[in-house]
């Protein structure tokens, strides 16, 4: 079945450091790929998405490129801030059932940024 | 406008009891999803509604779990004979159509003692 594997946390960085959170997936067909973020005390929010190979999703300084050849969707940010501290989830949409958009999530990566 | 709301925010119950968890989607959203998130894990799909009907309930773990959406808006997730393993955060999400972004509620944290 479809699955998502992401980098184990927790990840701790200093402010202004470069961030990479790895995500790889296994899927039949051509899923859409997502990064969701969960800030402390808040619900899941969509951070960015990409719907086809070589698409780049970007938002709030974060980027991720849909790489079909390596089945990856790594999250990157050039200079992190304390406010980026959160749990990050990589996910794919399972489109095997027509019209269904159920999401398959990775286990999450907790990111802490120290000032 | 208002986002997805879920009530209660926390629920503590005893093993064997019945619980209902409510989800109010964003107004006008036709698609509604339930997920379950265990501690330290990502959310896992439970069931998906398009309008009033359950289009995909393949994620429900067993027949103790049931969900309804009688008028195509509010949904209720029902758990019978709760077990300690049911303890988790139950998340609801809605979208304007099956192809659009899912917006998540804050979740209901269920603890079964």
Q: What is the pLDDT of residue A97?
A: 55
What are the pLDDT digits (tens) for B20-41?
999 999 998 989 999 999 998 9
Q: What is the pLDDT of residue A41?
A: 83
Residue B1 has pLDDT above 80, yes or no: no
Taking contacts as CB-CB distances below 8 angstroms, the residues of chain A near B95 are 101
What are the pLDDT digits (tens) for A15-50?
999 999 999 999 887 889 999 999 988 889 999 999
What are the pLDDT digits (tens) for B63-108?
999 999 999 899 999 999 999 999 999 999 999 876 678 899 999 9
CA distance A4 to chain B (A): 10
Put simply, the chain A residues between 79 and 108 with a CB less than 8 A from any chain B CB are: 89, 91, 94, 97, 99-108
DSSP A16-52: T--EEE-EEEE-SS---EEEEEE-TTS-EEEEEEE-S
Q: For chain A, what percent of residues have pLDDT higher than 70?
A: 95
CA distance A28 to chain B (A): 18
How much is the average pLDDT of A2-27? 94
Of the partner residues B33, B100, B101, the one whose CB lies closest to the CB of residue A102: B33
Which residues face A5 on adjacent strands? A24
Q: Can you tell me the distance from the alpha carbon of B103 to that of B4, in angstroms, rounded to the nearest whole number?
A: 7
In a mutational test of the A interface, the residue from B42, B94, B103 whose CB has the highest number of chain A CBs within 10 Å is B42
Q: What is the pLDDT of residue A100?
A: 58
Taking contacts as CB-CB distances below 8 angstroms, the residues of chain B near A43 are 3-4, 91, 104-107
φ and ψ at residue A36, rounded to 5 degrees: -110, 150
Q: Do A107 and B44 touch (CB under 8 A)?
A: no
Of the partner residues A43, A46, A89, the one whose CB lies closest to the CB of residue B101: A46
| A46 touches B: beta carbon within 8 Å | yes
Beta-strand pair A109-114/A11-14? parallel
Task: Annotate A12-21 with b (16+ C-beta within 10 A) or e (fewer).
Answer: ebeeeeebeb
Decide: A1 and A62 in contact? Cβ < 8 Å. no
Q: What is the pLDDT of residue B100?
A: 72
End-to-end CA, chain A: 41
Which residue from A81, A112, A103 is spatially nearest to A36, judged by alpha carbons?
Answer: A103
CA distance A9 to chain B (A): 10
How much is the average pLDDT of A6-22? 95
Q: What is the pLDDT of residue A114?
A: 96
């Amino acid at each position: 079945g479809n699955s998502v594997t992401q980098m184990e946390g927790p990840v701790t960085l200093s402010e202004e450091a470069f961030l990479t959170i790895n995500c790889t997936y296994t899927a039949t067909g051509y899923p859409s790929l997502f990064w969701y973020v969960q800030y402390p005390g808040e619900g899941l929010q969509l951070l960015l998405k990409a719907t086809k190979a070589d698409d780049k999703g970007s938002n709030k300084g974060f980027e991720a490129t849909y790489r079909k050849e390596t089945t990856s969707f790594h999250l990157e940010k050039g200079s992190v801030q304390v406010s980026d501290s959160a749990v990050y989830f990589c996910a794919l949409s399972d489109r095997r059932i027509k019209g269904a958009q159920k999401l398959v999530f990775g286990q999450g990566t907790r990111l802490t940024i120290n000032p | 406008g208002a986002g997805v709301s879920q009530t209660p925010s926390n629920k503590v119950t005893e093993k064997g009891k019945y619980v209902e968890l409510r989800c109010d989607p964003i107004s006008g959203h036709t698609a509604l999803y339930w997920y379950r998130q265990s501690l330290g894990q990502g959310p896992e799909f439970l069931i998906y509604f398009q309008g009033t009907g359950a289009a995909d309930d393949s994620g429900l773990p067993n027949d103790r779990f049931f969900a309804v959406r009688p008028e195509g808006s509010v949904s209720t997730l029902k758990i019978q004979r709760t077990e300690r393993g049911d303890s988790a955060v139950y998340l609801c999400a809605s979208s304007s159509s099956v192809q659009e972004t899912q917006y998540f509620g804050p979740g209901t944290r269920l603890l079964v003692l």
